[in-house]
Structure 1
């Protein structure tokens, strides 16, 4: 009987006792009967095999050995003994709960697709909603032998989200490009039609509309290309030393020449950061442009650059209508608009804040948008300052 642990000392004691009784005159059959009863008692009192030690033909496998086998995996992994979960690594316990060890796998996973997979000796299934409403897991079952098998879980939720975001982006971009193109084509076809009999005033109005839509289309294409370049470079740290205060002062002076000095309040200090000059210039211009587009036309826009806890802090504030709190979490999404009609009338592409967000992320900064209805909107950007120890460590930065 392989793998059976016999109580050898107790058996020896039982034989010795039987021999002593026989020699003492108890008789052979009485001594044998007592020996058999004693051995039967030892057999019935033997410990039952538990999940800690599982008898197998090739020896015994401890539960600890199972845990040590699956624990190093980064992916959630379960070891099944039949249909029961004998071991689960840390990643699996985090996703499904520590209570699953010892449970029937069909109860622990409790999903039709997963249960269907567990009814097969091996296979793979895509399970939606296993750990959350939007979660997507690829669950695979791999047999070890006739008794044991492994369940591996791969989280495909992020891939699905990226694919969905890509599809949404293409659809939104196509719609945004189609709208001005349709307008341009419609007006040009009318002007080119000899039977339309368009008078000079109407023709001039059509030409102005075509020019406006063409410029809007140009702005949209430029913003799309800009966003694409920023995303392509997002893992490359900028290496130019830039005084953000000086840059903002220069841009503000240029803007004031167009809108009037009384419309722009500027306050800056020296704040040197590591940055991409073109992208930071675009960030500042986008924020100031948004403040004038959506702020109160009679109230000034304030722009300031300060230093707070080792970071350069850029603040752009307007005194417009403000933004409802429900919209704030989505403002940096591509093509998201709180008021599509007003945005298009103002010449917005719906990509300005998405570009700002990606520029801030590339510069390892933080972006915050706060707004109060009826009072205005404040956008705050914080970017780490260039520290003296960083310059000393890398002479190329000086």
Structure 2
């Protein structure tokens, strides 16, 4: 157990609390039991003394003496009977003279008033503590006699000697039992926390592969599940970060290598200056597009990307984008056919939707064969504006369709690189569509072409 750790502190706190509770319970039990036992003895002395006192007139002197002797034997107590109560306050009813008295003058006055005395004090003759009951016996002329019943306190407490040791033994056994149980309970709750601390410490050190294997249904189990889920998410983020850095390094390494190679070739007069300048323009343009796309994607995946939604005539927006790309399509002898629902209104950011349509249409033209056909269809389906752009290119293998929107993912890297693509276009499109609460769907068949569908909620006029 780690010294000063949470587990030790909780365990010690439990032990201290339970120990104090158990000890207090046993002490209180002992005290009350002892108190009630002494009171019971006093009550017993008082009861028998009163019984004799009430029958005082019914006994002869000899019978009264016999009754008192019997009472002395039965009660295992000492009974003093005197017809001269002054002896109780002036000295002892014994032949041996002693200065101390059994009762004080004030207590004798209480007897004169007919009230019973209950005393716990040291016996003046035997030098031991006693518990005593003094019963006044009233006659026609007032106080005629008194019964002094007493017994040593040692005799009263004697039954508790064995009980005291039993209680001490029970306290020790109980504390040992509590210590063992508390340790197990503490371990039951602290052990999962220690596992989770181990995982979080490793996460802080950059290792997201560890998991807290805690199979529980309570709050600690739920917390462990949340930490595992967070660890898994961070692991995925770290994996994507490394992949991203690797991809960026690769993407930048290629144009930089070209630029370096062509510079060396120019220095050695292996290529013409015109070819060198043309190559530099292409590579710097590619790097510019890559940096621009990376900045866009970084903003899209954060919270800083500006977007302002307003009602837009979607068909007109699509018409404007298609018009910009018609010259590029004509270069490849590609025909673009449009079938647009002019009444469709969506709520979106005009510049961002132009970027979405441009990226998708640019890909469709880039990967279409010469003399191919591109269909651009806009319709309404289930309260959504659905734009479908279909080309007749080579298509995408089925295993690549789900990955095509990942950053830098390419089906044919060589071909894409030669045509200037950055591998980020569809990743940007997907993020922009999400910002518009829409959906991006891609269907493709190798040898027949690809259909990209963009579904955006219609503008609510209410």
TM-score, normalization: structure 2? 0.52
Q: 2:240 maps to what in 1?
A: 165
For this pair of structures, how many residues does the alignment match?
A: 273
Structure 2 residue aligned with 1:176, among 240, 243, 251? 251
Checking the alignment, whether the CA contact within 8 Å between 1:301 and 1:318 is kept in structure 2 is: yes
- Residue by residue over 1:34-70, the C-alpha shift from the partner in whole angstroms, topping out at 9 and shown as x without a partner, is xxxxxxxxxxxxxxxxxxxxxx859x99xxxxxxxxx
Q: 2:165 maps to what in 1?
A: none
Partners of 2:418 and 2:257 lie apart in 1 by 17
Partners of 2:288 and 2:311 lie apart in 1 by 32
SS in 1 for 2:269: coil
Gaps of 5+ in 2: 1-20, 26-176, 203-207
Residue 135 (structure 1) shift: 6.7
Checking the alignment, whether the CA contact within 8 Å between 1:322 and 1:373 is kept in structure 2 is: yes
Partners of 2:354 and 2:442 lie apart in 1 by 19
- Residue by residue over 1:202-238, the C-alpha shift from the partner in whole angstroms, topping out at 9 and shown as x without a partner, is 4332332222212111211121122223333478764
Q: 1:369 maps to what in 2?
A: 442
- Residue by residue over 1:174-222, the C-alpha shift from the partner in whole angstroms, topping out at 9 and shown as x without a partner, is 221221122112212332x2xx2346xx433233222221211121112
TM-score, normalization: structure 1? 0.60
Checking the alignment, whether the CA contact within 8 Å between 1:366 and 1:381 is kept in structure 2 is: yes
Checking the alignment, whether the CA contact within 8 Å between 1:313 and 1:381 is kept in structure 2 is: yes
Structure 2 residue aligned with 1:247, among 299, 306, 317? 317
Q: 1:124 maps to what in 2?
A: 198
Go from structure 1 to structure 2 and tell me whether the alpha carbon gap of 1:166 and 1:262 turns closer, same or farther (over 3 Å shift).
Answer: closer
SS in 1 for 2:211: strand
Checking the alignment, whether the CA contact within 8 Å between 1:234 and 1:361 is kept in structure 2 is: no
Structure having the higher helix fraction is: 2
Equivalences for 1:189-228 in 2 at 5 Å? Answer: 189-191=264-266, 193=267, 196-198=268-270, 202-228=272-298
Checking the alignment, whether the CA contact within 8 Å between 1:245 and 1:305 is kept in structure 2 is: yes
Go from structure 1 to structure 2 and tell me whether the alpha carbon gap of 1:313 and 1:126 turns closer, same or farther (over 3 Å shift).
Answer: same
**Higher Rg:** 2
Equivalences for 1:200-349 in 2 at 5 Å? Answer: 202-233=272-303, 238-260=308-330, 263-269=335-341, 270-349=343-422
Checking the alignment, whether the CA contact within 8 Å between 1:310 and 1:385 is kept in structure 2 is: yes
Gaps of 5+ in 1: 4-55, 62-79, 86-104, 129-133, 141-148, 390-398
Partners of 2:299 and 2:200 lie apart in 1 by 35
Go from structure 1 to structure 2 and tell me whether the alpha carbon gap of 1:237 and 1:208 turns closer, same or farther (over 3 Å shift).
Answer: closer
Checking the alignment, whether the CA contact within 8 Å between 1:271 and 1:312 is kept in structure 2 is: yes
Go from structure 1 to structure 2 and tell me whether the alpha carbon gap of 1:349 and 1:236 turns closer, same or farther (over 3 Å shift).
Answer: closer
Structure having the higher strand fraction is: 1
